[in-house]
Structures are given as C-alpha cells and as structure tokens.
Amino acid sequence: MKTLPAVLCCSPRCARTEDKAALDPRPAAPGYVLCWTCRDRAEEYLTSLARLYLDCEAAMIRATGLHDKVSGTSSPGLPLNLVAAEARSRIVAVLAEWAGMVVDERGIDAPKREAGALVDFLLGQLRWLGAHPAAGDLCDELADLVHAADRAAYPSPPRRTQLGRRCLFTECGGVLVGVVHVDRPERSRIECDLDPAAHRWARDQWMAVRRAAKVTPVARPVGMAA
C-alpha cells in the first residue's frame, strides 16, 4: 500500500525549533493546512489584535496635548503618535480584507467594519480559514499586525539594571538583571543575563529571589555574557 506524503503546515513562520533561520514546517493538523501550533497562534494573534487596537487608541489619547506647532503659526501640528493611529487603521484594513474574502467565498453576511466585530467574525471562521489555501498568508499578516501594533502602543524600551546577584540555577554563571517596562509594569521581570528565556522570575518574586540569590562582585555590561 502506497504511503501518501505528509501535508506540511503552510505558514511561512512554521518551524519545529527556535532556529528561525532554518524553517522546518510541522505536519498540518487533520483537516487543516496549518499545524496545531500555527492554528492556535492565529487564534492568539486575533484575540490580541482586539486588545492592541484599544491599546493603540490609549496611546493616541496619551499623546493629546503633545503637538508640534508649525513654525510661524498659532495652529497646532499633527499629534506625535501617528504610529499608533496608523497601526489602528492597518488592523481594521487587514482584518476587513480577510473578512471580505470569507464573505465572498462563503456567501454569508459581513460583519461591521470595526476591530472588535471583525475579530469576532474571523475567530468564528477560523476552522474554515485554517483549511483555506491562503491560511499561511493569514498567519503571516496577523503576526506582522500584532508586532507593529505592540510597538506602536508601547514604544518605550524596557530599562535593564544589573541586580548584583547570581542566577539561582546552580550550574549557571549568569547574573540577575531587572527588566522594567515603564508603560507595561505587568511585564517587568527578573532574568538571567545568560539564559533570559529559561531563567526568569515575575516582578512579585523579587524579595524571594533576593533572599535566595548569592551576592556577586561581577560587574559586566548588562546583556553580555561572561
């Protein structure tokens, strides 16, 4: 009996490993042209876009009153946070384009051209979209939207401060670093400068980490390994 070749995930960002330079798509999930990971990621991106649309609006509100005045006139110029405004417009435009494709191909009623309504509509059509030949493009565009909107809503880079303590993992020679997000304090954390992805603690764990970690005289530039 002939074995049919496995159908691979069509997302251009799909990879089995963290090495994004060597893409190796996972097998597609049954009934989909996406793997389960990329299908779930598309759902997460859609859900995030509803929140990021509102976050970009809040960023625009924070910018009100901060206007560049046109030289020689008394009229205010454009608000400084045009990036957030553009991100909001882009979210609606891209989601509306995908919703339009679903409406045309499935012959169903169109949602309102509003971010929340578009997100809800596409989430309800995700099973169908995940089996569509264009599903890979959807994943790619949603990822770009999320990353652009996140940067627009929260442009301030985190502050990093060496804490003068050794990493709690005994076989690690790293130094603990405090990462403070001024505009998103809930993302602030403590991490090891050698392995920040695996060796990290939430900001509310600082006192416990401080008691457990050994003081170190090591002083190297933040983010650099020994």
- 74 within some domain: yes
- Claim to verify: residue 50 and residue 141 sit in the same structural domain: yes
- Claim to verify: residue 176 and residue 101 sit in the same structural domain: no
- 98 within some domain: yes
pLDDT at 221 over 90: no
pLDDT in tens, 130-150: 999 999 999 999 999 999 999
Domain that holds residue 90: 36-153
pLDDT in tens, 7-58: 899 999 887 555 455 567 889 999 999 999 999 999 999 999 999 999 998 8
Strands annotated E in 127-210: 159-166, 175-180, 189-192, 200-202
How high is the mean pLDDT of the chain? 83
- Domains identified in the chain, total number: 2
pLDDT at 87 over 80: yes
- 21 within some domain: no
pLDDT at 223 over 50: no
The single-letter code of the amino acid at 5 is: P
- Claim to verify: residue 141 and residue 163 sit in the same structural domain: no
| Boundary of a domain, candidates 103, 130, 153 | 153
Give the pair of three-digit tokens for residue 183.
């505009």
- 199 within some domain: yes
d(CA 120, CA 15): 28
- Claim to verify: residue 163 and residue 145 sit in the same structural domain: no
- 25 within some domain: no
- Claim to verify: residue 117 and residue 51 sit in the same structural domain: yes
CA dihedral 72, 75, 77, 78 (to 10 degrees): -170
- Claim to verify: residue 146 and residue 187 sit in the same structural domain: no
d(CA 95, CA 112): 11
- Claim to verify: residue 182 and residue 116 sit in the same structural domain: no
- Claim to verify: residue 132 and residue 170 sit in the same structural domain: no
d(CA 222, CA 101): 48
- 175 within some domain: yes
- Claim to verify: residue 50 and residue 147 sit in the same structural domain: yes
Per the confidence metrics, is the pTM higher than 0.85?
Answer: no
| Boundary of a domain, candidates 128, 153, 178 | 153
The answer to whether the beta carbons of residues 145 and 90 sit under 8 Å apart is yes
